[in-house]
Amino acid sequence: MQFDLMTGSSSWEKTAELAMQLEKAGFSGMLFTESDQVPWMMIAAAATAAPTLEFTTGIAVALPRSPMISAQIAWELAHNTGGRFRLGLGSQVRGHVERRYGATWDKPAPQMRDYVQAFKACIRAFRREEKLHHEGPYYQLSLLPEQWSPPRHEYEDIKIDISAVGPYMCRVAGELCDGVHVHPMHSMHYINNRLLPEIERGAALTGRSAGDVDLMVPVFTVPGDSPEEREPMIARTRTQIAFYGSTPNYAFQFDDLGFSGTTARLRELMKKGDLQALANTITDEMLEHFALVARWDDMADALNARYAGVASRVVTYLASADIRQNPNNLAKWGEISRALTGTS
């Protein structure tokens, strides 16, 4: 099980500096989100600075981009990182796709299914396995003259992963993808009883099993040797879970665990703008399901106990901000990574 750090927008210089620090500390890799800044140049800067780290996007927004554009980017990054890159895609939500990106939103899971198939058709064409030809309900690709096809390289087995929460998207991941980016707001009940069974159903369509699909799992890891040390990260975790949990599509996460009605309460508090009450709605009992709170020396064991045999990569959701605020904690996060990966 690998241990990655989740990071977002930054300058190339700061990204490269962080990558070098993480590599030295013993991290496995970096997961780049996409919000106000595209991740590609940051990944290039990080990969150049840290030649052993692995990189993924978690997630890059798919639907506003042509599958050809995504394939070209992934091809170039795979080549220049020496195969240390895997592409993680997500649909985003309707408001962003239509009103921020000015792109088409229809039915996200069928659209993502067609997108992944179109992406794979591009990669096959880049490999010169076949001429570009994809005729799907959303994407039609049939033109790739040789002079516009990227040169071949040694790292053409490019892994593609998608974010998935609902059953249809999980089946798409199982059928077509190398991995799944699990939502940060998750419980083991959700993974075992909702996510994995749907991945299994999708995987069966192509003669695979759920075990053939990697799980990249962002975790609200809250280490600290005293309640006072843990409190800032616990407060942020409560707020973040409340924010995610206010979305109606995630209400089942609470309901499955016996916390029915939580999403409705969160939505009402969100409308009132009462952020403190919003965070306070997330009880300690809820935190036990959606986060991991442990002493520094116990965190690796806690992660192993929960995710060993399930996650291919665990991604610390909170470490980036903690390292900025407490630089001396970098070595402690690195010790967690080394313990998980068995590296010295």
User: Are the C-beta atoms of 119 and 139 separated by less than 8 Å?
Assistant: no
Element (H, E) at 328: none
Of 315, 236, 338, 245, whose CA–CA distance to 33 is shortest?
315
pLDDT digits (tens, 9 = 90+) for 205-238: 999 999 999 999 999 999 999 999 999 999 999 9
Residue listed under structure tokens 């591009």: 122
pLDDT digits (tens, 9 = 90+) for 187-200: 999 999 999 999 99
pLDDT score of 121: 98
User: Are the C-beta atoms of 304 and 310 separated by less than 8 Å?
Assistant: no
pLDDT digits (tens, 9 = 90+) for 160-174: 999 999 999 999 999
Percentage of the chain modeled with pLDDT above 70: 100
pLDDT score of 344: 64
* Per-chain mean pLDDT for the chain: 97
User: Are the C-beta atoms of 53 and 20 separated by less than 8 Å?
Assistant: no
pLDDT score of 42: 98
Confidence of residue 102 (pLDDT cuts 50, 70, 90): very high
Integer Cα distance of 278 and 239 in angstroms: 7
Give the HSE-up count for residue 140: Cα atoms under 13 Å, Cβ half-sphere: 2
Q: Return the ∠ at Cα 252 (arms to 250 and 257), rounded to 5°.
A: 120
Q: Is 129 helix (H, G, I), strand (E, B) or coil?
A: coil
pLDDT digits (tens, 9 = 90+) for 57-88: 999 999 999 999 999 999 999 999 999 999 99
Percentage of the chain modeled with pLDDT above 90: 99
pLDDT score of 343: 83
Integer Cα distance of 60 and 44 in angstroms: 15
Domains of the chain: 2-221+294-341 (3.20.20.30), 226-293 (no CATH)
Helices (H), ranges, 225-307: 227-245, 251-256, 262-272, 275-280, 284-290, 296-307
pLDDT digits (tens, 9 = 90+) for 331-344: 999 999 999 999 86
